[in-house]
Amino acid sequence: MPYSHLTFDVADRIATITVNRPDKLNALNDSLMSELGDAITEARGRGDVGGVLLTGAGRAFVAGADIAELAGQNAVEGKARAERGQRTFRLFETSPKPTIAAVNGFALGGGCELAMACHIRIASDKAQFGQPEVKLGIVPGYGGSQRLPRLVGKGRALELLLTGDMIDAAEALRIGLVNRVVTADALIETTRAMLTTMLAQGPLAVAQCIEAVDRGLDMGLDDAIALEASYFGMLSATQDKAEGMIAFLEKRPAKFTGS
């Protein structure tokens, strides 16, 4: 599919989606948001893609929603825009294929929210994070007020949400907002290496781990572990389970087929 505001490349079963509007620090206008939805849908649907690396061109990952567009919105348009963005980001979060944000620079507002909707965040040591919406008189609209406390805890989330302050990559690592911090030069290579490790595992098992965590976190523990037991049982009926266990016993790498 042709894209105007992002690039989409597939190599070694990894789809790299690069948000590409660097003159505006990759700010998410409506057409870019729509393309992001198309891109993750394409990645989820393609048989030659097993995982997604999301990054930004230039000095930003994404510096937020496009403030020029937000400036003109009324209440009804604002709610609709938030709902569209939330649906798009949820496609990253519920992808059965792992999604990793390689955060190369500013991840502010919608950019921080987009990174949080990915399964994992790896940051360059040049990355900066924040939810500066209060400075504009609004709240986050793409899930930030909900995913941030789930990731870093209520007190730390409220500190970021109420001050609008930016934090650097080291602080983001300290509070658990990102999984790893690496040098800018190593960012893409490190992210691809992590995805490659995931791609070597049973794809059905990977998908069910993602779903168990996504669904289970919003359940009580009894319901959540019941869900886990059903996935555990269901995967026992797969070829991948048979292959994984035979390969272990035969002391060879497993060849998973996703069946």
Around Cβ 42, how many Cβ atoms within 10 Å?
17
Q: What part of residues 1-60 is at the interface with ligand COA (CB under 6 A)? A: 24-25, 27
Helix (H, G, I), strand (E, B) or coil at 33: helix
Of the residues 35, 42, 93, 133, only one is catalytic, namely: 133
Q: How far is CA 225 from CA 95, 97, 166, 237, in A?
A: 21, 22, 37, 19
Helix (H, G, I), strand (E, B) or coil at 61: strand
Indicate the residue among 50 and 132 with the shorter CB distance to ligand COA: 132
Among 66, 107, 190, 194, binds ligand COA (CB under 6 A): 66
Among 4, 11, 30, 68, binds ligand COA (CB under 6 A): 68
Query: Is 113 annotated as catalytic?
Result: yes
Indicate the residue among 82 and 199 with the shorter CB distance to ligand COA: 82
Using the rule CB under 6 A, is 148 a contact of ligand COA?
no
Using the rule CB under 6 A, is 85 a contact of ligand COA?
no
CA distance 179 to 198: 15
CA neighbours closer than 13 Å in the CB half-sphere of residue 180: 17
Strands across the sheet containing 6-11: 6-11, 14-19, 51-56, 99-103, 120-124, 180-182
Among 108, 172, 173, 209, binds ligand COA (CB under 6 A): 108
Four-point Cα dihedral 5, 10, 11, 17, nearest 10: 40
Nearest approach in angstroms of CB 57 to ligand COA is 13
Indicate the residue among 49 and 67 with the shorter CB distance to ligand COA: 67
| Residue 149: φ, ψ to 5° | -65, -30
Indicate the residue among 63 and 161 with the shorter CB distance to ligand COA: 63
| Residue 99: φ, ψ to 5° | -120, 125
Among 8, 61, 89, 106, binds ligand COA (CB under 6 A): 106
For ligand COA, the binding residues (CB under 6 A) are: 24-25, 27, 63-68, 106, 108-110, 132-133, 136
User: Where in the sequence numbering do the catalytic residues fall?
Assistant: 113, 133
